[in-house]
A and B are shown apart, each in its own frame.
Chain A
Amino acid sequence: MRITHDAVAGTLESGDVLVRVAPDETLGVSVSTSVEAQYGDVVRKVVATTLAEFGVESGSVIVEDKGALDCTLRARVQAAVARGTDEQIDWPALIGRLP
Chain B
Amino acid sequence: MTSSYGVLSAGNAGFDPATVQFSKYSDSALIPDRSVLFVPGSSAGMLSTAWIYGADLYTFDLEDAVAVREKDSARLLVANALHSPQWRGLRVAVRVNGMDTPFFADDLEAVVRAGAAIIRLPMTHDSHMIEELDRRITAIERACGREVGSTQITAAIESAAGVVKAREIAEASQRMVGLALAGFDYLMDMHAERSRGGTELFYARCAVLHAARASGIACQDVVWGNIGDEEGFVAEAEMVKQLGFDGKSLINPRQIPLLHRVYAPTESELRFARKVVAAAEEAEERGLGVIAVDGKMVDGPIVAIARRTIAYAAGHGAAR
Q: A9 an interface residue at 8 Å Cβ cutoff?
A: yes
User: What is the distance, in angstroms, from B40's C-beta to the closest C-beta of chain A?
Assistant: 12
- Considering only CB atoms, which chain B residue lies closest to A88 in the complex? B106
Interface contact B44-A92, CB-CB below 8 Å = no
Chain B residues within an 8 Å CB radius of A11 = 44
The residues of B that contact A95 with a CB separation of less than 8 Å are 79, 83, 110, 113-114, 144
Is the CB–CB distance between A71 and B80 below 8 Å? Answer: yes
Q: Which residue of B lies closest to A73 (CB)?
A: B80
What residue of chain A has the Cβ atom nearest to residue B144's Cβ?
A92
B72 touches A68 (CB 8 A): no
- B49 near A: Cβ within 8 Å? yes
Within 8 A of A (CB), among B169-190: none
Hey, which bits of chain A sit against chain B, CB under 8 A?
9-11, 13-17, 68-72, 74-76, 78-79, 82-83, 89, 91-92, 94-95, 98-99
Q: For the complex, is B48 an interface residue (Cβ under 8 Å from A)? A: yes
Q: Does B264 contact A (CB under 8 A)?
A: no
Chain B residues within 8 Å of A72, by CB: 44, 47-48, 77, 80-81
Contacts A69-B84, A92-B144 known; A98 to B76 CB distance under 8 Å? no
Is there contact, CB below 8 Å, between B79 and A76?
A: no
Given A9-B73, A15-B48, A15-B49: A98 touches B80 (CB 8 Å cut-off): yes
CA–CA, A82 to B110, complex, Å? 15
Does the CB pair B106–A78 fall under 8 Å?
Answer: no
Contact of B45 among A16, A75, A91, A92 (CB under 8 A): A16
Interface size class of B (residues with CB under 8 A): 20 to 34
Q: List 7 A-B contacts (CB under 8 A).
A: A15-B45, A76-B77, A79-B73, A89-B106, A92-B144, A95-B114, A98-B83
Residues of B with C-beta under 8 A to A91: 79, 106, 109-110, 113
Extra contacts besides A13-B45, A75-B76, A92-B143 (10): CB < 8 Å:
A14-B45, A15-B44, A68-B48, A69-B44, A69-B84, A71-B84, A75-B77, A75-B80, A95-B83, A95-B144
Question: Are A98 and B114 in touch, CB under 8 angstroms?
Answer: yes
B109 CB contacts on chain A under 8 angstroms: 91
Contact of A69 among B86, B110, B113 (CB under 8 A): B86
Whole-angstrom CA separation of A11 from B72 in the bound complex: 15
* A70, A76, A92: the one within 8 Å of B113 (CB): A92
Chain B stretch 89-119: residues in CB contact (< 8 A) with chain A = 106, 109-110, 113-114
**Complex contacts, B49 vs chain A, CB 8 Å:** 15
Interface residues of B in 213-231 (CB under 8 A from A): none
User: Nearest 3 pairs between A and B by C-beta?
Assistant: A15-B45, A71-B84, A16-B44
Shortest B88–chain A CB gap in Å is 10
CB distance from B94 to the nearest CB of A (A): 14
Name the A residues within 8 Å of B44 (CB-CB).
Answer: 10-11, 13, 15-17, 68-69, 72, 75-76
CA distance A36 to B47 in the complex (A): 22
